[in-house]
Amino acid sequence: MAAPQRRLIFKHIDAPGYTNDIDCYIKHGGYDDLKKSITMEPTAIKDEVKKSQLRGRGGAGFSCGMKWSFIDAKKVTKPIYLICNADESEPGTFKDRQIIHKDPHQLIEGMIISCFANSVKLAYLYIRGEFPEGAKILERAIEEARAKNFIGKNILGTGYELEIYIHRGAGAYICGEETGLIESLEGKRAYPRIKPPYFPAVLGLYMCPTIVNNVETLCNVKHVINMGGEAFAKIGTPNNTGTRVLCVSGDVNKPGYYEFECGSLTMGELINDVCGGIRNGRKLKAVIPGGSSAKVLRAGEKFKLKQKGADGAMVDKEITLEDIPVDFDSFAAVGTMAGSGGVIVMDDSRDMVECLANISEFYAHESCGQCTPCREGSLWMKKITHRMAHGQARKEDSALLKNVADNIAGRTICAFGEACSWPVQSFLAKFPEEFQAKANKDEELVLGK
């Protein structure tokens, strides 16, 4: 059986009687961590975060302590900005919505602590446009926090000053990319910036040092302060610390969001025990483990994973999809990523070509169009996959599609290039027979009809 959930971020979410107003939050110990932090040296907070080994929850899994360490507030002469990335839009991910709607003050508190730690006086919370209600809840939460002097001038009598404003996106996935988000916040098309030279830590918002953190990451900061970095690091496994909110969707009996210690359960346990197995008595066919851009995993596939043997030495162990521990490093080791925690499950009735066509349509629609490979390639892949899914596949299409994806990944301004090509590459690699079968149906195909 799977380990029980460990609800840290989602502790109060859906708890009976818990409301999203500040009084309820304070009643449950809210803002105590802020009161504690604000008496600490900002560098001490940063040290705790470093010790916690907290990794970003947005998708890339980059060390939060490391990200913060790029900016030395003592040396920087320009203002430092912090932006909360609440542009949750990676398909398959729906954790931020819950936090924002049901426990907004947790996020606000995490943000204030993070701002204080990084000497930030002006922060923005970039929330995706499709969360109008979320934006209203957050606006109200900020006003409540201001009324209690957690935000504004001379916070809790310490002389620290902070403003947080809500900024609504307007339906563009690319705003989840941090430099695209910054451009969007500057009132421009969300064209991701070239790196070098525009690393947010150096030339971010208004060309000033900027920290962009995911909603869940900022919430975690509060808990790092609450329990101390070292204690936080004991949750989960080394280098995969803390909990992970997993959003399971697709063909399972009980889709939803679940929070576990990192690495405390396997994919099989998640799907079969936690989510009640595959719907309609069907069999598992494939899993996308970290949002739609993560590479797909095929049921029955064998993976090699380095694990600690009985004698303590690392040994290669052959495992199945169901055996993969749900943490950052294990997913990386099996050739995919934990990403944003969005797990999409597909059963054996699903047509993989159609699934890929759906994903490719998403990326073609969301490409910002700034750089050539992604702009041209994402639409091309959509057109090929749609054609294949609709009875117009040719024998050479699989190879062509793979080559198009290969020509995008690694050659674009931002990670969208990988995001749109990894699904294509992995679907083709894992389910080649389905793509080939489409072609075999129509030997005498005349295109353009």
Partner 1 sequence: MTPHPINPFNHDIPAPETPMVNVNFNGSWIQIPKGTNVVEVTRQQDSFLPHYCYHPKLSISGNCRMCLFEMGTPRMDAERKPVVGADGNPEIAWIPRPQIGCATTVTEGMGIRTESPMAVECRKGVMEFLLINHPLDCPICDQAGECKLQEFSTEYGNGYSRFVENKVKKPKNVDLGKNIVLDDERCILCSRCVRFAKEVVQDDVLGFVQRGSLNTLTAHPGKRFDNPYSLNTVDICPVGALTSKDFRFKMRVWFLKETKSISTWDGTGSNIIIGSRENKIYRITPRENEEVNSCWMPDEARFEFHACQDEKRFQQPLAKVKDDFFPSSWTDILPRVAQELTKYKGSEIAILASAKQTNEELFLLRSLAHTLGVTLMDIKPRVQEGDRFLISQDGNPNSQGAELLGVSQKGKKLPEIAEGIDSGKIKALISITEDAVDCGINEAALKKLSFHVHIGTQPNKANQNAAFILASAGFGETRGSMINVKGRLQRLNKAIACPGHAQEDWEILRDLKSAVGGGNGLHTIEDVFRAMSQTVPSLAGLSLSKIGDLGLQLNGTVSILSPREIKPVSVTA
Partner 2 sequence: MAITLLPEFENKIETAITHYPVSKRSASLPLLHLWQEEFGHISDEAIDWIAAKLDLQPINILELVTFYPMFRRQPFGKHHIRICRTLSCALGGSYETHACFKKATGAEGDDHGPVSSPDGKYTIEFVECLASCGTAPVVMMNDDFYEDVNESKIQELLQKYQ
- Binding to partner 1 by CB under 8 A, coded x per residue (else -) over 104-143, reads ----------------------------------------
- Given candidates 84, 115, 368, 428, which one binds partner 1 under the rule CB under 8 A? 368
Q: At what angle do helices 95-102 and 215-227 cross, to 10 degrees?
A: 60
Q: What is the 3-state secondary structure (H, E, C) of 209-256?
A: CEEEEEHHHHHHHHHHHHHCHHHHHHCEECCEECEEEEEEEECECCCE
Residue 319 vs 371, nearer CB to partner 2? 371
Count of CA atoms in the C-beta half-sphere (13 A) of 433: 1
Taking CB within 5 to 8 Å according to partner kind, which of partner 2, partner 1, none is near residue 250? partner 2
**Minimum CB distance to partner 2, residue 53 (Å):** 28
Backbone angles phi, psi at 298, to 5 degrees: -105, 135
| Maximum alpha-carbon separation in the chain | 79
Residue 411 contacts partner 1 per CB under 8 A: yes
Distance CA 401, CA 340 (A): 26
- Which part of the chain contacts partner 1 (CB under 8 A), choosing from 12-20, 74-82, 324-332, 366-374? 366-374
Taking CB within 5 to 8 Å according to partner kind, which of partner 2, partner 1, none is near residue 364? partner 1
174 DSSP 8-state letter = G
Nearest C-alpha neighbor of 228 from the set 238, 240, 241, 213: 241
Residue 364 contacts partner 1 per CB under 8 A: yes
Taking CB within 5 to 8 Å according to partner kind, which of partner 2, partner 1, none is near residue 380? partner 1
- Given candidates 30, 104, 200, 373, which one binds partner 1 under the rule CB under 8 A? 373
Residue 375 contacts partner 1 per CB under 8 A: yes
Taking CB within 5 to 8 Å according to partner kind, which of partner 1, partner 2, none is near residue 321? none
- Tell me whether the omega of the peptide bond preceding residue 200 falls within 30 degrees of 0, making it cis: no
**58 touches 290 (CB < 8 A):** no
Residue 448 contacts partner 1 per CB under 8 A: yes
Distance CA 199, CA 217 (A): 19
The torsion angle over the Cα atoms of residues 294, 300, 306 and 312, rounded to 10 degrees, is: 140
Residue 337 contacts partner 1 per CB under 8 A: no
Residue 358 contacts partner 1 per CB under 8 A: no
Q: What is the 3-state secondary structure (H, E, C) of 83-104?
A: EEEECCCCCCCCHHHHHHHHCH
Quick count: other Cβ atoms within 10 Å of Cβ 228? Answer: 14
**Minimum CB distance to partner 2, residue 250 (Å):** 5
The residue whose two tokens read 């907004």 is 104
Distance CA 21, CA 101 (A): 10
**Minimum CB distance to partner 1, residue 404 (Å):** 8
Distance CA 222, CA 210 (A): 20
Residue 55 vs 382, nearer CB to partner 2? 382
Token pair, residue 428, equals 């083709």
Residue 367 contacts partner 1 per CB under 8 A: yes
Name the β-bridge partners of 214: 85
**80 touches 204 (CB < 8 A):** no
Residue 196 vs 312, nearer CB to partner 1? 196
Strands 243-250 and 256-261, by their bridges, are: antiparallel
Residue 395 contacts partner 1 per CB under 8 A: no
**3-state class of 199 per DSSP?**
coil
Nearest C-alpha neighbor of 334 from the set 297, 287, 281, 388: 297
Q: What per-residue string of b and e applies to 256-266 under the rule 16 or more CB within 10 Å gives b?
A: ebbbbbbbbbb
- Binding to partner 1 by CB under 8 A, coded x per residue (else -) over 151-190, reads ---------------------x----------------x-
Distance CA 164, CA 146 (A): 10
Taking CB within 5 to 8 Å according to partner kind, which of partner 1, partner 2, none is near residue 384? partner 1
Residue 133 vs 316, nearer CB to partner 2? 133
Residue 23 vs 133, nearer CB to partner 2? 133
- Given candidates 99, 245, 413, 419, which one binds partner 1 under the rule CB under 8 A? 413
Residue 147 vs 315, nearer CB to partner 2? 147
Taking CB within 5 to 8 Å according to partner kind, which of partner 2, partner 1, none is near residue 362? partner 2
Q: Which residues bind partner 2 (CB under 8 A)?
A: 88-94, 96-97, 122, 128-133, 165, 167-173, 184-190, 206, 247-251, 255-257, 288, 292, 342, 344, 346, 350, 355, 358-359, 361-362, 365-366, 368
Distances (CA, A) of 449 to 125, 294, 387, 389, 435: 49, 34, 11, 15, 21
Residue 78 vs 189, nearer CB to partner 1? 189
- Given candidates 194, 315, 332, 437, which one binds partner 1 under the rule CB under 8 A? 194
**Minimum CB distance to partner 1, residue 132 (Å):** 21
Binding site for partner 1 (CB under 8 A): 172, 189, 194, 196-197, 364-373, 375-380, 383-384, 387, 394, 400, 406-408, 410-413, 447-448
